[in-house]
Chain A
Amino acid sequence: ETGVTQSPTHLIKTRGQQVTLRCSSQSGHNTVSWYQQALGQGPQFIFQYYREEENGRGNFPPRFSGLQFPNYSSELNVNALELDDSALYLCASSLGGTAFSGNTIYFGEGSWLTVV
């Protein structure tokens, strides 16, 4: 058990819709990262939040956005869903800062998103 919780665990959306995924960090962790894992592939970095500010972003379009709250929980929002957005979305928390300093990260159970 990592202490990182995500919701919902599974959901189905229609192409063009919007989705919000939620993550609660492990106690004391102030950094949250989101990853997308398509079927048969390794996780890909979407973005990271530290103290409510986005401090790093991967190669994902602007329709992927996020928030981090004062209690360090986080949301991932995806607008205008496409079929290729179907994937496992993983939240990871760590005790870090503006640069990843090799701190261990722990993944939550993930949210399985299917876009039809």
Chain B
Amino acid sequence: GENVEQHPSTLSVQEGDSAVIKCTYSDSASNYFPWYKQELGKRPQLIIDIRSNVGEKKDQRIAVTLNKTAKHFSLHITETQPEDSAVYFCAASIGYKLIFGSGTRLLVRP
């Protein structure tokens, strides 16, 4: 079936530490994997995305890796800051739609 599993559901890190969120998808035809950050009461904002022809992509403190064989992709945030605290969603494309994970609540402790 169409499914994206996301772990962990909550993550608490000390400011300056790294945070890693992992997702697994079910459909081998998925070819696009965006990550969204959602702050309380606001819309999901695209922070980084990766396509299936790329194994890794980096944008400043944020990086995403993709393992198509294992159907895994991960978000890495380095040097975390309190403003990184939010809910993060991974998603995988299936045809004309995105299937979202259940979200990870990240708390960065000052």
Contacts and interface: CB of A to CB of B under 8 A. Distances in A.
B3 to A, nearest CB: 12
A105 B98 CA distance: 10
Contacts, number: 62
B24 to A, nearest CB: 14
Give chain B's interface residue range (CB within 8 Å of chain A). 20 to 34
- Grouping DSSP codes into helix (H, G, I), strand (E, B) and loop, the B interface class, with mixed when no group exceeds half, is strand
B49 to A, nearest CB: 6
Nearest to B51: A102
- Grouping DSSP codes into helix (H, G, I), strand (E, B) and loop, the A interface class, with mixed when no group exceeds half, is loop
Contacts of A55: 96
Contact of A90 (B43, B52, B93): B43
A98 B97 CA distance: 11
Interface stretch (B11-19, B57-65, B76-84, B100-108): B100-108
Contacts of B96: 33, 48, 55-56, 96, 98-100
28 contacts: A33-B96, A37-B44, A40-B103, A41-B102, A42-B91, A43-B89, A43-B98, A43-B100, A45-B98, A48-B97, A55-B96, A56-B95, A58-B97, A88-B43, A90-B44, A98-B96, A99-B95, A100-B96, A102-B31, A102-B32, A102-B93, A104-B46, A105-B46, A105-B98, A107-B45, A107-B46, A109-B43, A110-B43
Interface of B: 31-32, 34, 36, 42-46, 49, 51-52, 89, 91, 93, 95-103
